[in-house]
A and B are shown apart, each in its own frame.
Chain A
Amino acid sequence: MPQLGFVLQWVVKALAVVLAITILNFFLIRLAPGDPAVVMAGEAGAADQQFLDQVRRDFGLDQPLAVQLATYVKNVLTLDLGQSFRTGRPVADMIFERLPATLLLTGTAYVFALIVGPLLGAIAAMRPRSVFDSLLMVVALVFYATPIFWVGLLLILVFSVQLGWLPPFGMQSMIPVKGALASTLDVIRHLILPAVTLGLFYIAVYVRLTRASMLETATLDYVKTARAKGLPEWRVATAHILRTALIPIITFAGLQAGHLVGGAIVVETVFAWPGIGRLAFDALFQRDYNLLLGVFLISALMVVFFNMVTDIVLRIADPRIAGRA
């Protein structure tokens, strides 16, 4: 059962990575200057010694570091991510509340980019150095080079402030609209600008990657053979070139998927999108250790998970890899 072995190997690897990340972050965050008890005191507008002691006791901050770490790791293994220092609520709850928003935003941008990017790139590659190709490559390069938050601000300026077509911030109207269809449309309207902002960057990457990959494949011998056999150009492009050229795209897409949570942090800030990236940023500034550790853990899990998915997809797309493993 080679498949079973493969899965087992992955599970062991994933566990090791997650454990390592948990330990790393645990220490990193505690190296930082600043005492979470003092932050909470600031939030509460009061700080007598009794309050500080209370907070430290409540969250086990008075325990030795090793004990805190052991407790944390043990809890993580039992899927208990602890309580947020600031709100006292379970960390897992807070993350899972925010996760859908982030997945909606990044997923939309990602899928959109994965469809549009390779398509445009492939068209460009079929007519290298044509006007379309040159123009597309310039545009892609420009978006690749432009800070994503700046693109977001410009889009808000044009489409929300000047034209008033789309809402600039948030995920839904302040007063929720009634009805399933209306509220879905409401979310979609809010989704467009942030998803396009994020999507433009991804598209730029995929366009360039696809074009380069296809041009490289096109010079390979078996493609030349296919052409020599007189197959129509579109058959050559789709059946022979694209299939091979997809491999680096899949690899890259897999890597990207894992980083979706972290990648959206800037866009979520610009558009006040109520997702997990924003949560992580706030948690950091409030020294909400448990919450931050939770966000990191989830992000790392996603990376590990998508790496595995990528591997599986690659085995299907490219039998040579399966043979090698």
Chain B
Amino acid sequence: MRRRTTMGLMGRLAAVVFALVLAGAGAARAEPQQGGTLNSTLWPEPPGIVIGIHLNAPTLLPSSKIFEGLLTYDFALSPQPMLAESWEVSEDGLTYTFKLRQGVKWHDGEDFNAEDVVYSLTKFIPEVHPRSRPTFARTKVTAPDDHTVVLTLEEPYGPLIRSFDVIGAPIVPEHVYNGSDIRENPANRAPIGTGPFKFSEWASGEYIHLVRNDAYWLDGRPYLDEIYYRFIPDSASRALALETDQVHLATQNDIELVDVARLAAMPHLEMTTKGWEWGAPISWLEMNLRREPFNDVRFRKAVMHALNREFIRDSIFFGLAAIPTGPIHSSSPFYTDDVPTYEYDPEKAKALLDEMGLEAGADGVRAKIGLLGLPYGELWDRLSQYIRQALGEVGVEVTIETSDVAGWGSRISNWDVDMSTTYLTTLSDPALGVARSYITENQRKGVLFTNTSGYSNPEVDRLFAEAASEPNEDKRRELYHQVQKIVADEVALAWLVELQWPTIHSAKLKNVVRNGLGPNDNFAEAYFEE
């Protein structure tokens, strides 16, 4: 099978029309209008605004307007053209050929060409981008001509096709970075990209200001004149700023979840939970399988039955969450719900604990364990409180341990914990964002976001490995379905909720969330309706 995607001018036009239809009735009727200033919240103030050098959430939002990737991804995470106009993947899955868009200019006026792509994938990313470094370490990148880039692999790597978005593989200007110390390059404070918006100013403690790129490669885009990302340190003031129309856009955890419904109901605001498909965050309760009683699967199943995840979804996450069935997010093309599930049933939990021989003592306590809560604020504190309460009801006495972010990270990564809560983005492909938490090989003491629970199953290892190097999507899907069944049956982690980050924006602002990158899209199509 040979896949081929090309998009000429007509295709682009069709895509725009399609996007407008998708964006809703209002947008479809009105012609997009030029002009306007978009004010968005951004918090905390990012440490830098070059994607790759920094990967913090607040770095991504402004940086994704300045830089672009070869591809972008729709809600189903299918690849869409960006700096690459078309691409081909060879049948054996070992060769990827990208045809680059012509007439693209860097913000400093230089031409964009294949050298920039080769530099970004072979020098920039391996040097600074911790998340994509292993992906591109597998590839050899060449440029047969100025507008063609070829990636070759030793063996097929399934997730590669989902690794070319601006976050996973930002394309940076070779003429600016080559030969310099990338981290110390002055352009990091005034970045030069190809995106629809150019960097203008960073007023420390106040805002990042982006302005329209008049020489953008897509004619007539962007519609907006400028974007201000304003640093507003308090969630209540961010809510107030949206209410009073002082800012037009807030996303992720900018707004306390308790406040979202109230804001969403306001006539001048709209809310969507789409647009985080690339990140697909899942929150879970992690049990240290190296310790008793967590090494007994019956205990882990009892925990699942003891937790009322509907209550967690409704009362802690205020409905902005879904109940996961296993390790893979339900928005992923590899997801299946055909797995063992665990309904809320404290009696069943008690029965399982009885079966283990964990009888309740005179004080009603069967076991005493510690819980290290994610120190990201009040919402997560409440989650810990709930878990303590719910497990207490089946006779498991939980002591909540608190810590700051540093202590939390050290203890989890050094396996010095009973149970902990966390959430992690599972990313665009299970091989990138899911496998890391389950495969035996990734038990790396001292390193966060690895397989810290100590889960180990050779069959799961084999399935993950096979799925990663399988070029055929259908076969991969089948393999991941098997993984999900096993891992869910063994309760490798106690999955609590899929987070649904809200994006709240002014009703007049159109085309905000158009694809799987949502607010991290480049906003070339966003506009204000009169």
Residues of A participating in the B interface, judged by any CB pair closer than 8 Å: 32-36, 38-39, 41-52, 86-89, 93-94, 97-98, 167-170, 173-175, 272, 274, 278, 282, 284-287
Contacts and interface: CB of A to CB of B under 8 A. Distances in A.
Contacts, number: 121
Interface stretch (B230-238, B349-357, B466-474): B230-238
Nearest to A35: B410
Interface of B: 39, 44-45, 47-48, 54-57, 130-131, 133-134, 204-205, 230, 232-234, 236-237, 240-241, 246-247, 375, 403-411, 413, 425, 444, 446-450
Contact of A34 (B233, B403, B446): B403
Given A175-B39, A272-B237, A285-B404, A44 B447 contact: no
A48 B410 contact: no
Contacts of B48: 87-88
Nearest to B444: A49
Interface on chain B toward A: helix, strand, loop, or mixed SS? Answer: loop
Contact of A170 (B130, B232, B404): B232
12 contacts: A32-B407, A34-B403, A34-B409, A35-B406, A39-B406, A41-B409, A49-B447, A88-B48, A93-B204, A167-B240, A274-B205, A286-B405
A285 B130 contact: no
B236 A272 contact: yes
Contacts of A174: 39, 230, 232, 241, 246-247
A119 B246 CA distance: 42
Contact of B403 (A33, A49, A175): A33
Given A45-B425, A88-B47, A97 B205 contact: yes
B449 A46 contact: yes
Given A168-B236, A173-B246, A287 B405 contact: yes
A46 B409 CA distance: 12
B410 A169 contact: no
Contacts of B45: 87
A33 B236 contact: no
B130 A38 contact: no
Residue from A35, A45, A272, A274 with most neighbouring chain B CB atoms (10 Å): A45
Given A44-B54, A50-B133, A169 B237 contact: yes
A35 B405 contact: no
Nearest to A289: B406
Contacts of A93: 204
A39 B447 contact: no
Given A169-B236, A287-B404, A44 B448 contact: no
Given A43-B47, A175-B39, 12 more contacts: A35-B409, A35-B410, A38-B410, A39-B409, A47-B413, A48-B130, A87-B45, A87-B48, A169-B237, A170-B234, A174-B241, A278-B233
Contact of A38 (B57, B233, B236, B409): B409
B5 to A, nearest CB: 30
A173 B230 CA distance: 11
Given A38-B406, A287-B404, A50 B130 contact: yes
A52 B447 contact: yes
Given A97-B205, A174-B247, A33 B407 contact: yes
A321 B244 CA distance: 57
B406 A34 contact: yes
Contact of B413 (A36, A38, A88): A38
Residue from B47, B54, B409 with most neighbouring chain A CB atoms (10 Å): B409
A93 B189 CA distance: 15
B237 A170 contact: yes
B233 A33 contact: no
A286 B406 contact: yes
B234 A169 contact: yes
Contacts of A175: 39, 246
A287 B410 CA distance: 12
A98 B206 CA distance: 11
